[in-house]
């Protein structure tokens, strides 16, 4: 009975908070006129690897160069990454906290740009957060920009960017294997679709996921069928963080490098995230530009 009462009190308390927030948002706009203040919120999965920050720094520079008069804020969707960074003394906001701060700082128009690769679970969680702030009315306008892969045009540009990533000293008969994150979300289908389109241009390009199809066992089987002797391994993630260092290029028995090496394939690794390449950043920036165009 006591546990049931505690749950009831928690529900009532939560409902009260939501009502207070909604009322505050309505009261803040009723009968007042705010001066237009536009902001950009860049939202990434995040990384606790210091070496991965070069990717985020590149995006940050490009965004600020394109929109020098617009304030740029950051948020990480990964709770685990935020907690790791907090232990290091670095505070990164969740999207909800970042938007609450921006509302408190009187921003009126906010473009939230996803820096995810596909519209997977992280992106859809972000859509719910943006939708909640839209319904509360804290901003005159809030718009969410697409992740890297959203349209057929994005797919074609990404294939171009992937092929440009391939090192110049790759031999014609070498395979090139890109490691994506992968997900159990339906959005995982983008990886196989992207590989299909990439192979129309280069049949020895393969794209898999750490946590989704195609898996490394599938790729290893395809490479064996083609009697591949050498494979280049590159991350298909915005940063060359923990997954790239350990799951792709690590010395543990279950890393992609180890699995392929065990089957007799010589592996050569490249540790560079997609956000370090301007061709990929340009795709994200095009989605951000579309979001900002809603405010004109």
Catalytic residue among 29, 33, 124, 181: 181
Please tell me the distance from the alpha carbon of residue 42 to that of residue 45, in angstroms, as a whole number.
10
225 and 282 assigned to the same domain: no
pLDDT at residue 21 in the model: 47
Count: domains in the chain: 2
Quote the tokens at residue 124. Answer: 């859809």
**Is 124 labeled as catalytic in the residue annotation?**
no
**CATH assignment at residue 160:** 3.40.50.1400
Structural domain span for residue 107 = 34-148+278-295
49 and 125 assigned to the same domain: yes
Q: What is the mean predicted confidence (pLDDT) over 154-181?
A: 97
258 and 284 assigned to the same domain: no
pTM, rounded to two decimals:
0.87
* DSSP of 57-97: HHHHHHHHHH-TTSEEEEEE--HHHHHHHHHTT-----HHH
Residue 97 lies inside a defined structural domain of this protein: yes
69-127, pLDDT tens digit by residue? 999 999 999 999 999 999 999 999 999 999 999 999 999 999 999 999 999 999 999 99
pLDDT at residue 104 in the model: 97
177 and 81 assigned to the same domain: no
Please tell me the distance from the alpha carbon of residue 138 to that of residue 3, in angstroms, as a whole number.
35
Residue 175 lies inside a defined structural domain of this protein: yes
57 and 135 assigned to the same domain: yes
2-54, pLDDT tens digit by residue? 444 444 444 444 444 444 444 444 444 444 678 999 999 999 999 888 878 89
CA distances (Å), origin 238, targets 44, 90, 214, 225, 226:
9, 20, 19, 30, 29
Q: Where are the alpha helices (DSSP H) in the chain?
A: 2-29, 53-66, 79-87, 95-104, 121-136, 152-165, 189-201, 216-225, 242, 256-262, 278-292
139 and 160 assigned to the same domain: no
124 and 163 assigned to the same domain: no
pLDDT at residue 32 in the model: 62
86 and 159 assigned to the same domain: no
125 and 93 assigned to the same domain: yes
247-270, pLDDT tens digit by residue? 999 999 999 999 999 999 999 999
pLDDT at residue 34 in the model: 81
Helix, strand or coil, per DSSP, at residue 99: helix
pLDDT at residue 48 in the model: 86
- The C-alpha angle with vertex 288 and arms to 287 and 290, in degrees rounded to 5, equals 65
Residue 12 lies inside a defined structural domain of this protein: no
pLDDT at residue 24 in the model: 46
């Amino acid at each position: 009975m006591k546990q049931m009462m505690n749950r009831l009190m928690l529900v009532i308390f939560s409902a009260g908070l939501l009502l207070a927030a909604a009322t505050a948002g309505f009261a803040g706009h009723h009968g007042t006129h705010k001066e237009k203040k536009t902001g950009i919120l860049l939202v990434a999965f995040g990384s606790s690897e210091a070496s991965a920050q070069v990717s985020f720094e590149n995006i940050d520079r490009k965004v600020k160069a394109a929109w020098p008069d617009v304030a740029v804020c950051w948020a990480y969707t990964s709770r685990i990454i935020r907690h790791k960074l907090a232990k290091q003394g670095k505070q990164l906001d969740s999207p909800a906290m970042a938007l609450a701060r921006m509302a408190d700082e009187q921003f009126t128009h906010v473009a939230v740009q996803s820096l995810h690769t596909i519209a997977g679970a992280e992106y859809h969680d972000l859509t719910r957060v943006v939708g909640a702030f839209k319904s509360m009315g804290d901003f005159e306008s809030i718009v969410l920009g697409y992740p890297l892969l959203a349209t057929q045009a994005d797919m074609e540009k990404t294939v171009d960017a992937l092929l440009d990533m391939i090192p110049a000293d790759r031999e014609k008969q070498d395979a090139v294997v890109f490691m994506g994150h992968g997900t159990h979300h339906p959005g995982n289908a983008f990886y196989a679709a992207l590989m299909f389109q990439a192979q129309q241009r280069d049949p020895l390009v393969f794209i898999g996921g750490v946590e989704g199809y195609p898996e490394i066992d599938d790729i290893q089987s395809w490479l064996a069928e083609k009697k591949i002797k050498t494979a280049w391994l590159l991350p298909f993630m915005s940063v060359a963080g923990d997954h790239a260092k350990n799951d792709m290029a690590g010395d543990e028995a279950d890393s992609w490098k180890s699995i392929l090496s065990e089957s007799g394939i010589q592996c050569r690794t490249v540790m560079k995230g997609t956000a370090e390449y301007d061709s990929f950043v340009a795709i994200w920036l095009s989605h951000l530009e579309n979001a900002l165009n809603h405010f004109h």
